[in-house]
A and B are shown apart, each in its own frame.
Chain A
Amino acid sequence: MKIGEERRDGALIVAPSGRVDSVSSSELERALVGHLGAGESRVVVDLAQVEYISSAGLRVLLMTAKKLKDADGRLVLCAMPESVRLVFELAGFVPIFAIEPTREAALDRLGESGA
């Protein structure tokens, strides 16, 4: 798994690629926990390049969303491929997360909540 990172409009965009399974999710966890520890509060996770996500990967995203919420920040997910979307749906996770189709929409959503 590779993890791309980018900053735009004061938000951090994290873009994992490949498989986010029980092995590689710990890598994503370390990266996200590191950013949260550094005080990052507006985070977008772009899932466009994710081929597969397991429940271990969902846990990392859920943990990130919870920590950000506790810190008055926000996590927005975007650009989910159909296969990833299906995993979210089957796990009952769709209503839990803020999910947008594109990065732009995700950044807009962060902008709203930050205003």
Chain B
Amino acid sequence: MSVDSLHLRIEPPGEDPYTYDSRSDSVVVGRSSTADVHVQDRYLSRQHARLFRQGDGWYVETLSAKSPTVLNGRAIGGPTRVAPGDVLRLAETVVRVAPPEGAASPAAWLEGSRIFRSAATMLAAAGGGAADPVALERQRSRLAAVNEVHRALAQPISLEALLGLVLDSAFAHLGPEEGALYLRRQDGELERAAFRRVPGLEGPPFQSRRLADEVVGRGLAALVQDASLDDRFAAAESILVSGVRSILAAPLLDSEGCLGMIVLHSRARVRQFSEEDLELLVSLAAAAALRIRNIALAEEVAERRLFERELALASEIQTGMLPKTFPECPEVEIAAALQPARLVGGDLYDVVVVGGRLWFLVGDVAGKGVGAALFMAVTRTLFRAIVPTAASLEDAASRINAELARDNDKAMFVTAFLGALDLATGQLDYVNAGHPPPPRLGHDGSVETVDAPPGPPLGAIPSHVYAPRRLGLRTGDGLLLYTDGVTEAENGRLEQFSSPRLEACLRDVARASPAEIVAAVIGSVRGFVGDNPPSDDLTLLVLRYRGPASGPPST
């Protein structure tokens, strides 16, 4: 700086800034009209501070007994040398020491006191090369603060507790009046996740879209002495309402990007932040960011686990809906298997004996996953509820269909094969609701597909009336009911198991027991599919009629 002249920019509270060029070797700033620079600042002392020339430089000393003279964020003790670009704070008044004439003006001078720095650069620079004792001491206290946060963060901690802890630490080391932590949501918007303020401070929390854009959007750390950043006051007639604010903000940066920001602020006359404070906050924010990311990931994993647990429970409930044992009836031998492709599925089967008849159902709900599983559960429940009161198979099928079709906005449906076998006579009534017709396994070893032209699936057409067909089973005749997960099982070459392979397999085991037939078909499908993961549920139900029981017919 030129020794000869002193250029000052005076920023009084609530008034336009102006410049002052000294013509003498001494400049007194104060509220008194006799001061060289007199400012209408009610918190200012009459004679607040003096700038004076000594030797080859300019110095500042405080004259006020009640309010400090703050140079670059630190209250001065004795006379202190000033340099171009320095910022003095006297109560609510800002006095800037101008750069020498002709030098390029730093942005801070033109725009007011705003320092924006790359937080990443600050972090990279932190900890290196400080040689002088003052810098070392600053570094030591900063390390202590960050260490403290790291230590606390080493414990298992919830996200909420972590954010509170970071704010506590910021309050302890930086003494703001208000602090907030913002996190970026999935949709990119910032959400205030933690907030704290000293008692007695009122009004809505400080917020600034412009500050967020700089800090979160560009990863900049900010030290701002200004009220104009505050959204609430941008349009206000006078910033005197709130007074000048000292604002400190740092992005929550980690290697993956920016998670949000931490913002501290105070009324300038209560607490003014310095660049050292900014460095500390940047370090704190970086320590917090790492842990926030970890916790967010852990919570995501926990949520997924919870979902998986619920799905496993649903799977258990669904499996529980399938009959574990079959009705005790000597007239029919039964075996079944259901292999879901996922944890929950849309296949089902059921068997009940009512009124001397064995009623059975094999079904396949359109689609997959939880929706299909719920529809499966409803279908099975309706089957159990309606069959005991049904006048006939036609009546049962039509009523189940009507119930499933009601209020069915998504047009869910279930293809199904339903049958009612008269245990005394072997007469089988059956309805095919859009399902693959079953092969009949003759007592003589023949395999022949039952003639069962499909009607619409259950639930598809509300008023459909299903006309059953009739077939006589002789002693030793069987029936294999299946879902298309059997015939459409694919191998690695995208070939399907298909009906011919199913029939070939059945011919080999046509006279075996139902349990053996089920095992043989599953083995054959497995051998064909190999390691290819199943894409659909697979269900088999085999019945074999053993003729009327001796003694009185069952009821």
Q: Which of A62, A90, A92 makes the CB contact (< 8 A) with B411? A: A62
Say if the beta carbon of A91 comes within 8 Å of chain B.
yes
- Within the complex, what minimum Cβ distance (angstroms) separates A15 from chain B? 21
B454 & A92 in contact (Cβ 8 Å cutoff): yes
Task: List chain A residues, Cβ under 8 A from B455.
Answer: 92
- Establish whether residues A90 and B367, one from each chain, have CB atoms under 8 Å apart when the complex forms: no
In the complex formed, the residue of B with least CB distance to A64 is B411
Provide the main secondary structure of the chain B interface.
loop
- Select which of A58, A90, A92, A96 is within 8 A of B366 by beta carbon: A58
**Which residues 26-80 of A have a CB within 8 angstroms of B?**
54-56, 58-60, 62-63, 66
Contact status B410-A63, CB under 8 Å: yes
Q: Does A113 contact B (CB under 8 A)?
A: no
Given A90-B434, A90-B436, A91-B415: A59 touches B456 (CB 8 Å cut-off): no
Q: Are A55 and B410 in contact (CB under 8 A)?
A: no
| B residues 412-465 touching A (CB-CB < 8 Å) | 412-413, 415, 432-434, 436, 453-457, 460-461
**CB-CB nearest in chain B for A21:** B535
What is the CA–CA distance of A90 and B449 in the complex, to the nearest angstrom?
14
B106 to chain A, nearest CB (A): 55
Closest to A94 in B: B454
- Is the beta-carbon distance between B456 and A56 smaller than 8 angstroms? no
B residues 456-476 in Cβ contact with A at 8 Å: 456-457, 460-461
Q: Is the interface of A mostly helix, strand, loop or mixed?
A: helix
- The distance in angstroms between the C-alpha atoms of A93 and B432, with both chains bound, is 12
Asked if A89 CB lies within 8 Å of chain B CBs, one says: yes
Contact A91 B410 (CB under 8 A): no
Residues of B close to A91: CB separation below 8 A = 415, 434, 454, 456-457
A92 touches B457 (CB 8 A): yes
* Contact B411–A66 (Cβ < 8 Å): yes
> Whole-angstrom distance from the CB of B397 to the nearest CB of chain A?
12
Question: B411 to A63, Cβ gap below 8 A?
Answer: yes
- Assess whether B412 is in contact with A95, with CB atoms less than 8 Å apart: no
B477 proximity list for chain A (CB < 8 A)? none
Q: Are B367 and A55 in contact (CB under 8 A)?
A: yes
CB < 8 Å neighbour of A89 from B366, B367, B433, B454:
B454
Q: CB distance B367 to A22 under 8 Å?
A: yes
Cβ < 8 Å to A, chain B residues 365-387:
366-368
B364 at the interface (CB under 8 A from A): yes
Interface residues of B (CB under 8 A from A): 364, 366-368, 409-413, 415, 432-434, 436, 453-457, 460-461
Q: A-B pairs with the 7 shortest C-beta distances? A: A63-B411, A92-B454, A55-B366, A91-B434, A92-B434, A56-B367, A59-B366
Beyond A55-B415, A91-B415, A91-B454: 7 further Cβ-contacts under 8 Å? A54-B366, A59-B411, A63-B409, A63-B410, A90-B434, A90-B436, A92-B457
